[in-house]
Copies of this chain bind each other. A is one copy, B any other.
Amino acid sequence: MIDTGLNPISSITMTDQAEEQLRDYFVNKGFSIGDTLPKEAELAEALGVSRSVIREALSRLRMLGMIDVRKRRGMILTEPDVLSGMSRILEPKLLSKETLKRLFEVRLMLEMGLGEFLYPRITEKHFMKLEDILGEEAHAGTKAELVELDIKFHSTLYEITGNPVIIRFQRMLQPIFQYGLDYRAELHKPGKPPKVTHRDLVDILKNGNAANFREAMRQHFELHFQLLS
User: What is the total number of copies of this protein in its complex?
Assistant: 2
Q: Is the CB of A165 within 8 A of B111?
A: no
User: For chain A, what secondary structure do more than half of its interface residues adopt (helix, strand, loop), or is it mixed?
Assistant: helix
- A106 CA to B114 CA in the complex, in Å? 9
Residues of B within 8 Å of A57, CB to CB, are 59
Q: Are B88 and A23 in contact (CB under 8 A)?
A: yes
Q: CB distance A88 to B87 under 8 Å?
A: no
Whether B99 pairs with A109 at a CB distance below 8 angstroms is: no
User: Across the two chains, which residue of chain B brings its CB closest to A55?
Assistant: B56
User: Quick check: B59 and A163 within 8 Å, CB to CB?
Assistant: no
Contact in complex: B88, A5 (CB < 8 Å): no
Q: Does A47 contact B (CB under 8 A)?
A: no
> Count of chain A residues with Cβ under 8 Å from any Cβ of B?
80
Known contacts A10-B68, A86-B83, A211-B215, A116 near B112 by CB under 8 Å = yes
Q: Out of B52, B69, B88, which one reaches A85, CB within 8 Å? A: B88
In the bound complex, how far is the Cα of B206 from the Cα of A185, in angstroms? 35
Nearest B residue to A82 via CB reads B86
Q: Does A102 contact B (CB under 8 A)?
A: yes
B108 with A113: CB separation less than 8 A: yes
A163 touches B52 (CB 8 A): no
Does chain B have a CB within 8 A of A227? no
Among listed A143-151, A167-175, A187-195, interface-contacting one: A167-175
Provide the residues of chain B in CB contact with A64, threshold 8 Å: 85, 88-89
Q: Are A3 and B59 in contact (CB under 8 A)?
A: no
Q: Known pairs A5-B172, A81-B89, A108-B116; list 17 more (Cβ under 8 Å).
A: A1-B88, A1-B91, A2-B88, A3-B88, A5-B83, A16-B63, A26-B94, A33-B94, A33-B96, A63-B85, A64-B89, A82-B90, A108-B113, A109-B116, A109-B117, A110-B113, A116-B218
- In order of increasing CB-CB distance, the 8 nearest A-B pairs are A85-B85, A112-B113, A109-B113, A3-B87, A80-B89, A113-B113, A56-B59, A5-B168
